[in-house]
Amino acid sequence: MAEERNEESPFPEAEEPAEAGADDAGADDLASALEDSILEGGELDSILESFDRLKRERDEFLETLQRLQADFDNYKKRVARQEAETGQRAVKALVVKLLPALDTLNLALVHATGESGEGEAASLSQVASILNDLLVKEGLEVIEPMGKSFDPEEAEAVAHDAGDGAPVVTEVFRVGYRWRGQTIRPAMVKVTGS
C-alpha cells in the first residue's frame, strides 16, 4: 500500500536524512536563496520602506486617538462642572428670593409672640423652624455680627454712634445670610466706635 500512495501522490515521500543536521542545512540554504532573490530584486528595501511607513501611520493614529480621548475626558469633566455650577446658581437664586419671605415670617413670629397670641406664635414658630432647617441643610448660614468687630464684607453699617476703639456692632436691624461660605446678603447694623 505504501507503494500505491507513492504512485498516486504528486509528492514523493521524503527520505529520512542520514544526519540530524541535514534538515537544518537545507532550511538554511532555502532561506539564503530566498533572501538573495529578494535582495537582488530590491524588494526588501521596498518592503522595509512600506513597513516603516505603516509604523509611522500607526503611531500617528495612536497619538491622534490619545489626544481625542484626553479631549473627550476633559469635555466630560467641564460639562459636569458646568452643570454643577448651574445647579448651584439656581439654588442660590431661589434662596435669595426666599429671604424676604423668611424675614416676613420671622417678623410675624416676633409680632405674634409680643401680642400674646400663643396659638398663632406656635404655628408661625413651626413654619419658621421648618423653613430655617431646610435652608440650613442646603447651606444657608445666618451672619451673627452682634458684639463683634465690624466686618464690611458681612455687614452694612446704617447707623453709627461715636465711641472709643475699633468699630463694634451694637445692634442688628436686618439679619444677614451666607450661602455656602459666600455672603449673599449683608446684615444691616448699627456700629459704635471710631
CB 176 within 8 A of CB 186: yes
> Using CA atoms, how far apart are residues 105 and 76, in angstroms rounded to an integer?
43
- Could you give the CA distance from residue 44 to residue 40 in angstroms, rounded to a whole number? 9
Q: What does each of the 194 residues of the chain score in pLDDT, given as a tens digit?
A: 444 444 454 444 544 444 545 556 666 777 676 666 665 556 778 888 899 999 999 999 999 999 999 999 999 999 999 999 999 889 889 889 999 988 888 888 888 877 666 777 788 888 888 988 888 888 899 999 998 999 999 999 999 888 888 899 999 999 999 998 899 999 999 999 87
> In 115-161, where does DSSP find H-type helix?
118-137
pLDDT the model gives residue 83: 96
pTM, entire model: 0.57
Task: Determine the pLDDT at residue 146.
Answer: 92
User: Could you give the CA distance from residue 19 to residue 26 in angstroms, rounded to a whole number?
Assistant: 12
